[in-house]
Amino acid sequence: MLDQHLTPDDMALFTRLRMTAFGEAVIDIANDPTYDQWTFSQKIRHALEQETAARTERRVLKLLKASRTPNPAACVEDIHYLDGRNLNRELVARLAACRWIDQTHNLVILGKSSVGKSYLAQALVNAACRRDYSARYYRLDDLANQLAVYHRQDAQRLTFLTGLHTCDLLVLDDFLTTPITGETAADLLNILAAREGRGSTVVTSQFDPEDWYRSLHDAVIAESILNRIVSNAELVQLDGPNMRRHTHTETAS
């Protein structure tokens, strides 16, 4: 029986089987003399590794898209450790390992405008997705606007809320930078209550937690929101230079 070498014409079969990366690797192996000395097991293992890597990448991209993070490329590897930032590699590595998500602990990132709070939160979303956690990312104002679009009993609203309740990681960026309505505060409390013991929440804010009361008109709801976020949260206080200006200067140079 003649030995029929695999060629790129055979890719259609692998694509139909949803094994594109495996097929590309097998065809490369069959037509590249570099692999002639490899054992059959080595060739199969290499092709499987290529397929596994491709599927993992697709899964991460899908999770990042679902997260709605404004900067999917933000990653902990690109964080700048400048003097005075109160940020070090050990802390970032520990947060990027996502054990706190396993334990459904929260994270509060504080600091003045432009010190890199949002970028750190976005980088942690990226780290979480790479570890196969689901995530959602919203500026608090945008979340309030999104909820306002739906009627109370709208099926789309229920689906939207279910996604917020059940995701492994919820990021609320620019938390209480401006006052919110009583209706939004009640929605926020319900979201946080539904997430207790089910997922982790990251909050970024320019204001310390004890100052959040100024943006919440109902003292009871304010206390409940504060307790649900802070009671099991790690606080990271960022400081240092304006990171937007630093990044712009670095890019320009």
What CATH number does the domain containing 174 carry?
A: 3.40.50.300
Amino acid at 90: E
pTM of the predicted model, to two decimals? 0.81
Specify which residues 108 forms β-bridges with. Answer: 203, 235
Residue 224 included in any domain: yes
One domain for residues 60 and 77: no
Confidence tier at 243 by pLDDT (50, 70, 90): low
Residue 247 pLDDT > 70, yes or no? no
Q: Tell me the per-residue pLDDT of 41-94, one tens digit each, with 9 for 90 and over.
A: 888 888 888 887 888 899 999 999 999 999 999 999 999 998 878 899 999 999
pLDDT attached to residue 252: 44
Within 8 A by CB and 6+ apart from 62, the residues are none
Residues 183 and 100 in one domain: yes
Q: How many CB atoms lie within 10 A of CB 52?
A: 12
Number of helices (H), then strands (E), belonging to the chain: the values are 11, 5
* Number of domains forming the structure of the chain: 2
Task: Look at the block and give the residue holding tokens 């054992």.
Answer: 39
Distance CA 68, CA 88 (A): 27
Quick count: other Cβ atoms within 10 Å of Cβ 153?
7
What residue numbers bound the domain in which 117 lies? Answer: 69-252
Helix or strand holding residue 122 (H, E): helix 117-130
Residue where a domain stops, chosen among 66, 99, 116:
66
Q: Check whether residue 129 and residue 82 sit in a common domain.
A: yes
Q: Is there a domain that residue 99 lies in? A: yes
Do 222 and 112 sit in the same domain of this protein? yes
**Position 20 in a domain:** yes
Distance from C-alpha of 60 to C-alpha of 57, rounded to nearest angstrom: 5
Q: Which of 137, 147, 226 is nearest to 181 (CA)?
A: 147
Give the tens place of pLDDT for each residue, 163-220. 999 999 999 999 988 888 889 999 999 999 999 999 999 999 999 988 888 888 888 9
Tell me, yes or no, whether 3 lies in a domain: no
